[in-house]
Amino acid sequence: MSTMATPAQIAPRISSGVNASVLYMLLQYSLHEPRRGRDDIKAFMTHFRKAFPDLNFWGAADLIAEGDYVVGRWEGGGTHTGPAFADFLAGSLPPNTGRKMKFTGTTVLKLKDGKIVEEIGLDDGVAALTQLGLIKTAA
């Protein structure tokens, strides 16, 4: 029996951090420290969405599903209009900077019993951090 949810069921969850039903899920991207477990991921995403209230992600290509894995390309972004945010590996933002970020990425989801147990992605963190003023481009 397959442990796959359908791509249509998975698409809204890619990079959303809303899969709070899995106790031991792993969430890992280049912008942040890896997050492990439902409570850690939920707290991280709640804080991230408070700092960037208009944070949004959308699919940029068809999903690819094989066995227990789903791969998707996405775009996302938001405006920092909320509280200070200190979870970026490259630095922190003071409250309400008004800075915008837009970036892309690819996510690989691993499923077990129709639930996401691992979300590992590669995002264009350099673009996001540059737009937020946390890293500088060469002159």
124 in a structural domain:
yes
Residue 4's pLDDT is: 44
pLDDT at 17 over 50: no
133: which 2 tokens?
């003023």
Residue located via tokens 């996001």:
128
75 in a structural domain:
yes
Q: 16 vs 90, which has greater pLDDT? A: 90
Give the tens place of pLDDT for each residue, 73-83.
999 999 999 99
Position 23 confidence tier, pLDDT thresholds 50, 70, 90: low
Kindly state the average pLDDT of the residues 40-51: 91
66 in a structural domain:
yes
4: which 2 tokens?
């796959």
Domains: count for the chain: 1
Residue 79's pLDDT is: 98
Cα 101 to Cα 36, 67, 74, 93, 96, distances in angstroms: 25, 34, 14, 13, 14
> What is the residue range of 47's domain?
7-131
Q: Chain-wide mean pLDDT for the chain?
A: 84
2 in a structural domain:
no
Find the CATH number of the domain harbouring 69: 3.10.450.50
138 in a structural domain:
no
139 in a structural domain:
no
The answer to whether the CB of 109 falls within 8 A of the CB of 132 is no
From the list 121, 131, 116, the residue with the least C-alpha distance to 57 is 121
Give the tens place of pLDDT for each residue, 64-109.
999 999 999 999 999 999 999 999 989 999 999 999 999 999 999 9
Cα 136 to Cα 16, 61, 95, 96, 139, distances in angstroms: 28, 30, 20, 20, 9
In whole angstroms, give the CA distance from residue 133 to residue 92: 10
CA end-to-end distance (rounded Å), the chain = 56
67 in a structural domain:
yes
30 in a structural domain:
yes
Residue 22's pLDDT is: 57
Residue 20's pLDDT is: 46
Number of neighbouring beta carbons within 10 Å of residue 35: 21
